[in-house]
Amino acid sequence: MTEYDFIVVGAGSAGCVLADRLSANGKFRVLLLEAGGSDLNFWIWMPIGYGKTFYKPSVNWMYHTEPEPALNGRVSYWPRGKVLGGSSSINAMVYIRGQARDFDEWKEMGNPGWGWEDVLPYFRKSETNDRGGDAFRGDSGPVHVATMNRDLHPLCHDFIAAGEQLQFPHNPDFNGAGQEGVGTYQNTAKGGMRMSTARAYLRPARHRANLRVETHALAERVLFDGRRAVGLRYRRNGQVVEARARREVILSAGAVNSPQLLQLSGIGPGALLAAKGVEVVHALDGVGRNLQDHLGLDYLYRSRVPTLNTQLYPWYGKLWHGLRYVLTRRGPLSLGVNQAGGFVRSRPGLEHPNMQLFFSPVSYTKAPPGKRPLMNPDPFPGFLLGVQPTRPTSRGHLEIRSADPSEAPAIHPNYLATDIDIQEMLEGARLMRRLAEAPALARLIEAEILPGPHVRSDDDLITDIRNRAGTVFHPVSTCRMGPDARHDVVDARLRVHGIGGLRVVDASIFPTLTSGNTNAPAIMVGEKGADMILHDNAPG
């Protein structure tokens, strides 16, 4: 049995960070396991290529939820990265940290060291912002964050003007001193190519003799000596392999796979494990519970003026922009699809923004749910507005179906389970209508395609929400951090309650969902988790 100091399961947004930081000083042997393969794929590196990886099983777990009662029994499709870089290799690349109060709330929930002032240094440490560093932004970190102004579609300025006409301020940096307002997004990209954590952290570290990376390695269970994790069993190339961890096993497999692996290893709700034929090592009811996700809705419009559809629908447009991207790394294919947006309050009296907005100068009425294939837009000019409430109150769960590690877990998001979540989705729908009716956008709109102008009443809008709303692909909190072992899974140092030598370091530990996209906070968790692990394993 090969021995390492640390075994990290999952080479995703946090796992690649850990592999780099834990091996950097040369003192520790680190094994990084990834169930997927290499990220050396044109469609991964090209920013808009995520439309091609959305349903690609070689790089994507392609999960499906159980039928959701509040969504009229629809099944939600959950893409998750199964490749070096994890979901940072297949996401839409929007870089958003969240609001300061998100993290202050984490601290108030009994997690010392996780307030905004505590986590801000790790956000800055991870980042190189192409606008330069300041008190909020980093200028020397591995993850390059790019401003899209160079190739931004001009309709984005009309969206911002519409927001200002509704008295939403223009915000030039959603990751600066404050998040509120409308503006343009930044992407995790450099030189017109995606900046996944595999590119940012793992690629520079892979030459180290003390770091071993094994791909196509499916973790089957954590190995224990009593109540201490001592290794891992995994399957690679049809062979079962065991590796020993002298110091710690660290799960960074994400909000679906980390709780799944804990349950497969005998850590989770005791009755569930017993029913699935898994020997209980430690009953921990919180494993797989507290699931949170952003639910979003799009409104589609036919435009009176050219949009990206006009450029990219014709075959010659595809050819021209494809060649332009290959030769120069410029043009619309070098950008993410969500170019503009913002964070606003949907009603007076709120202390903080409660809605995230998206504006895309492109439309696709025949795409599969949730997919935005920029290279196959509608044959007419169109654009879309999108909205997601930032802090949903509904809570779901996931659980293993059997003791078979290759079988996907049963995922129950439990969307729209609270009155406040239904009300906020309704407010979000009405907000998109207000934006569309603002003069700056109204003059561009020929017709509302979806849901259509006949959908006006609260009841009709809620019916449309139940028919069309879908995940924004931000599942978190299934191994929630907190001090109460009756409900939480890890403590404030990310150690699994009641078990030695085992941590979880990824988005599953979020106590609550952050206000915005989750990739940047997951990277921050990787940075802070690595510091904690190195500190706790320092000599003496």
- Residue positions annotated with a catalytic role: 474
Query: In whole angstroms, what is the distance from residue 196 CA to residue 88 CA?
Result: 5
Cα distance between residue 400 and residue 383, in whole Å: 40
Phi, psi (deg, nearest 5) at residue 101: -70, -25
- The Cβ of residue 366 has, within 10 Å, a number of other Cβ atoms equal to 8
Instruction: Give Cα separations from 445 to 304, 338, 455 (angstroms).
Output: 6, 19, 17
**Contacts of 449-456 spanning 24+ positions with Cβ under 8 A:** 449/300, 449/301, 449/302, 449/363, 449/365, 449/382, 450/298, 450/299, 450/300, 450/365, 451/299
The Cα–Cα gap between 264 and 403 comes to: 6
**CA-closest candidate to residue 359, choices 149, 158, 145:** 158
HEC per residue, 19-48 = HHHHHCCCCCCEEEECCCECCCCHHHHCHH
Q: Do residues 199 and 479 touch, judged by C-beta distance below 8 A?
A: no
Contact assessment for residue 259 and residue 437, using Cβ atoms and an 8 Å cutoff: no
Pairing label, strands 295-303, 470-471: antiparallel
Phi, psi of 506 (to 5 degrees): -175, -170
Nearest C-alpha neighbor of 202 from the set 47, 18, 26, 43: 18
- CA dist 390 and 380 (Å) reads 32
